Chain A
Amino acid sequence: MIAGISIYDILTLTSILFFIGVYGFFTRENLITVLMSVELILNASAVNFVLINTYLYPDLLQGAVFSIFIIALAAAETALAIAIIINLYKLIYSVEVKDTETMKY
C-alpha cells in the first residue's frame, strides 16, 4: 500500500482513466484509435484488481494473477485486432469505422 494515499484516491484515478477510455471509444472514428481506447479501459481494470488486492487482502495474490491474465488477454486481443485491421485495409483501403461494411458478410 502507498503511504498517505487512501483506496478512494486510487479508485478515483482508475475510474477517470476508464471513462477517458470510454470517451475515446465513443468519439474516435479510426479503428486503431478505437483499439487504443480499449487498451486504456483494460489497463484501468487491471490496476483496480492489483490495488484492491493490495489494500483489502494483502496476504492473497489473486488480484495480481487476474491482472496477469488481463494483460495476456489484452496482448492477444491487440495482436488479433491489428491483424484484422491490416487485412481490412488490404480489402477496402480504409480503416475508418464508417467504411467497415465488408466485415458483415
Chain B
Amino acid sequence: METIIFYILVAIIILFAVASVTSRKILRAVIYLLFVLIGIAGLYFLVDYNFLAAIQLTVYGGGIIVLFIFAVLLIHHVELELEKTALKKKLIAGALSAAGLAVTLWAISTYPFPVTDTYTSIEVADIGLLLLSYEDGGFILPFEVISVLLVAVMIGAIVIAKGKKLTENN
C-alpha cells in the first residue's frame, strides 16, 4: 500500500516539476510548483515526519506560493506568455542537467548506504527540545541566528520594496 502511494507521489512530483519549469504561462507554473510542494509534504507524511509536513504545507504551500502569486499579479498580466527559450539553449541545459543527473545517480548507486532496520517515530517535543538545547549538539545558537536573520529579512524586504523610481534619481 505504502509502495503504491509512494509511486503515485513520485509521479505527481516529477510531472508537475517538469510542467513547472516548462510552462509558458507564469501563473500556471506557480500552481504546478504548489502541487510539487504538496507532493513533497505527502512524502514527509509517508515517513511519519508530521511536524515537517505541516511546516512544508504552511510555509511553502501557504506562504511562499502566495508570495509568488502576489509578485506575478503585481508584475505581469495573468494571460501573459513568457518568451520562448531558444532551442539551442534548451538542448545545452538539458544535456548539462542529464550529465549531472547521470553522475549523481552513478555515485548514489555505487555507494553502499548502511541502512538500519530499526524504526523510531519522531515526536514534535523531541525536535523542540533539540532546537532549544544548549548542551553538546544542541541547536540553540543556529535557532537564535535564524530568528535574527528573519527580522533582518523582514526589515530589508520592506526597505527594498519601497524603493524610489529611477526617473526621480536622474
Interface residues of A (CB under 8 A from B): 1-9, 11-13, 15-24, 26-30, 32-33, 35-37, 39-40, 43, 46-47, 50-51, 54-59, 61-62, 64-65, 67-69, 71-76, 78-80, 82-87, 89-92, 95-96, 102
Given A19-B97, A43-B36, do A83 and B64 touch, yes or no (CB 8 Å)?
no
> Does A75 contact B97, Cβ atoms closer than 8 Å?
no
> Does B33 contact A83, Cβ atoms closer than 8 Å?
no
> Does A91 contact B3, Cβ atoms closer than 8 Å?
no
Which residues of chain A are near B108, meaning CB under 8 Å? Answer: 8, 11-12, 15
16 residue pairs bridging A and B, Cβ less than 8 Å apart: A5-B2, A13-B10, A17-B13, A17-B14, A20-B97, A22-B97, A23-B21, A27-B85, A32-B26, A40-B33, A55-B115, A55-B116, A58-B119, A68-B127, A68-B131, A71-B56
Docked complex: B127-170 residues within 8 A CB-CB of A: 127, 130-131, 137, 139, 142, 146, 149-150, 153-154, 156-158, 160-163, 165-166
Our pick among A2, A50, A64, A79 for the contact of B157 (Cβ within 8 Å) is: A79
Min CB distance, A16 to chain B, in Å?
A: 6
Number of A-B contacts (CB under 8 A): 220
Our pick among B60, B157, B158 for the contact of A71 (Cβ within 8 Å) is: B60
Our pick among A33, A83, A90 for the contact of B82 (Cβ within 8 Å) is: A33
* Residue among B122, B149, B154, B162 facing the most chain A CB atoms (10 A cut-off): B122
> Does A7 contact B113, Cβ atoms closer than 8 Å?
yes
Q: Tell me, yes or no, whether B93 is within 8 Å of chain A by CB.
A: yes
Which residues of chain B are near A82, meaning CB under 8 Å? Answer: 67-68, 70-71, 157
> Does B63 contact A75, Cβ atoms closer than 8 Å?
yes
Our pick among A4, A36, A68, A92 for the contact of B30 (Cβ within 8 Å) is: A36
Q: Name the CB-closest residue of B to A59.
A: B120
